[in-house]
Structure 1
Amino acid sequence: MDEARMLERSLVPVSLVTGASGFLGRPLLDALLGPDESRGRVVTVGRRRPPDWPAESFIQADLTNPESVRAAIEEAAPSIVFHLAGKTPPAPAPELYKANSMATALLLDALRERGRPVRVILTGSAAELGPVDESDLPVGEGHPCRPVTPYGVSKWLATCAGLAAQPPLEVMIARIFNPIGPGTPESQSLGRFAAQFSDPAVEELSVGCLDTRRDFVDVRDVARALIALAQHGRPGLVYHVGTGRSQRVGDGLEQLHRLSGGRVRVTIDPVHAGSAGPGDSRADIRRIVEQTGWRPEIPWEASVEDLWNEVQARPSVAIDRVNTWT
């Protein structure tokens, strides 16, 4: 690359995205590649290149290997980093800690060693909070975190690493509640329901508790929230990303059942009929709304319908099951 080309490239902002093949990755790439050309170049990094992504904008790296991460950061020279890569249940605990906690620490170390200003958006999870009394809902960012699952602990450790970062790193945490929409993985209840209803070989679906309520936020709204934080967020803060309202899981099941034509018979499994996790969960989103202007736009019913339509058109391998969303 000649000197003039190198100078031109150094002046163009670079957004680096990890986990770009996952559930959140594709909507974020779509949003970053929109009409706003001022966002500059978008580079993805990970074990494999996202489908249909140009090879010249991909850096192959093992995010759990310090040398590999350091080399990727030097090559990309990012001004903004969206860290989406990680693992979710049912991955075993050692893999969760390695992919979520250690990989985040290595990424932050590599960025710090480079010594250049960079804004970093880490994707957290509501699982970091642990049990929250209904009297404390909607839950704000100041609520103490008491995670009770390996996944929640692994994400909380990553958040702690981000909050401890010092300049020139400008780190913000997007604590995402329950993303839904096109690409929802089968490890999540509504993703599993949609996949089962669309499978012609399935005649019966056995389900557990349907009265659990969760703050479901559309994955495309989440992508916009991440960009809003990169543009307007304040370093050193956690931002809850949700809708501020909760929806009954059973209502999502019923909508998917109607959309499928009701061919599959739904039965309740008494062994798993008890609620898994808190009965209700919803986020206080005033901080991100007030500080960035972001707010959720896509209605819950539209998210469920778009999930169904995407599952109907889904090829045999649609998303990276290792890097699901965070």
Structure 2
Amino acid sequence: MARYLITGANGFCGRHLAELLSNGDDEVYGISRSIPDILTISHPTVIYEQCNLIDHTSVFNILKKIKPECIFHLAAESSVASSWKSPINIMNNNVISQINIFEALRELELPTRIVIAGSSEEYGLINESDLPVNEKCCFNPLSTYAVSKVSQDMLAYQYYKSYNMDIVRVRSFNLTGPGRPPTYALSSFAHQIAQIEKNKSKNVISVGNLDVKRDYTDVRDAVKGYYKVALNAKPGTVYNLCSGKAYSLRDLLNILISLSTAELSIEIDYSKHRPSDLPVMQGDNTKIKSEIGWMPEIEIHKTLSDLLNYWRNYLV
């Protein structure tokens, strides 16, 4: 039996990881700035604690209390769009919180394994000739969010090398699935369709740039990947977590529309376009498949269907 700690337990990935881990006999703890009642109801075997990761004393005290054998560090401000509006907030939340965890573990002398959740945004501007991108690719970040994740990634490597800490890194490409907030493209599309079906809005789906192509993985597959990495990865290693396929947002929107019986039209909102954006991002998952034994299992049509049904059930 192991003792796991999930940071960002109230987040999209955190909730799905808690669901996965709580099905076993392990001790599972979750920390977040706020703990809504729905978390304790949904996962009654998970022990939830409030913790402000920006505050070193708060982090030190919670780690001293729990003494986790493995930390899944998922907590982060994860919106690329919001990073254009609040770059200082993004850097503080994503970088300082991770340093606080590392320093508290060093002070407590805990031999904890730490799985750091990175992002494909770290790779940034990539020539299409270099796709699919593997773990050896250089970083060319195009947003403050991406810079913050590069900082987390490099800090993880530095603490592993400098202090021999048991740290592994996972660079997740785009994740989606039930529970994804509507601030993200696919969930926004599904949310709008569900609203239209329930006559809560006019029959128009507002979209941004549909011409980009992204590598999507179902969040339920992704958290299985985090877990397998925690069990099997060597300290200091890094893995892409991705489907290995590039999907056009336009094609994925058309799949969602095909799942609805409502009459729908599309309207482009140019305010949703980013100051800089990648035309294509596709990952190479060869390393995680061969070394860890993980590969995605949930087909994209099911992911989109489950996402749309999530919003249909959520909206009353």
Settle same-fold status: TM greater than 0.5: yes
1:68 aligns with 2:68: no
- Residue equivalent to 1:28: 17
Kept in 1, the 8 Å contact 2:18–2:46? The answer is: no
1:61 Cα deviation after fit:
1.1
TM-score (norm 1): 0.87
Corresponding residue for residue 308 of structure 1: 308
User: Does 2:176 align with 1:177?
Assistant: no
Aligned residues: 302
1:228-267 pair list within 5 angstroms: 228-267=228-267
Measure, in 2, the Cα distance between the counterparts of 1:245 and 1:156.
23
- Give the 5 Å matches for 1:131-280: 131-166=125-160, 167=163, 169-199=165-195, 200-203=199-202, 204-269=204-269, 277-280=277-280
The corresponding residue for 1:100 is: 94
User: Given residue 201 of structure 2, which amino acid in structure 1 is its aligned partner?
Assistant: V
Structure 1 residues 88, 123: CA separation in 2 closer, same or farther (over 3 Å shift)? same
- The residue that corresponds to 1:7 in the other structure is none
**Separation in 2 of the partners of 1:182 and 1:77?**
31
Residue 270 of structure 1 deviates from its aligned partner by 6.8
Please list the CA deviations of residues 223-260 of structure 1 after superposition, one character each: whole Å capped at 9, or x if unmatched. 00000000001211221000111111111111212223
The whole-number CA distance in structure 2 between the counterparts of 1:215 and 1:112 is 36
- Does residue 18 (structure 1) correspond to residue 14 (structure 2)? The answer is no
Contact 2:71 2:115 in 1 (8 A): yes
Describe the shift of the 1:271–1:112 C-alpha distance in structure 2 as closer, same or farther (beyond 3 A).
closer
Higher relative contact order (CA 8 A, sep 6+): 1
TM-score w.r.t. structure 2 length?
0.90
Matches of 2:21 and 2:293 in 1, distance apart? 18
Provide the C-alpha distance between the structure 1 equivalents of 2:76 and 2:291, rounded to a whole number of angstroms.
27
* Counterpart pick for 1:47 among 33, 40, 64: 33
Change (3 A) 1:129 1:78: same
Work out the CA distance in 2 between the residues paired with 1:250 and 1:273.
14
* Higher mean C-alpha displacement, 167-176 vs 62-71: 167-176
Unaligned ranges ≥5, structure 2:
none
Conserved? CA contact 1:82–1:122, under 8 Å: yes
Q: Distance in 1 between matches of 2:256 and 2:58?
A: 43
State percent identity of aligned pairs: 30
Q: Distance in 1 between matches of 2:77 and 2:273?
A: 27
Unaligned runs of 5+ in 1: 1-11, 317-326
Partner AA of 2:185 in structure 1: S
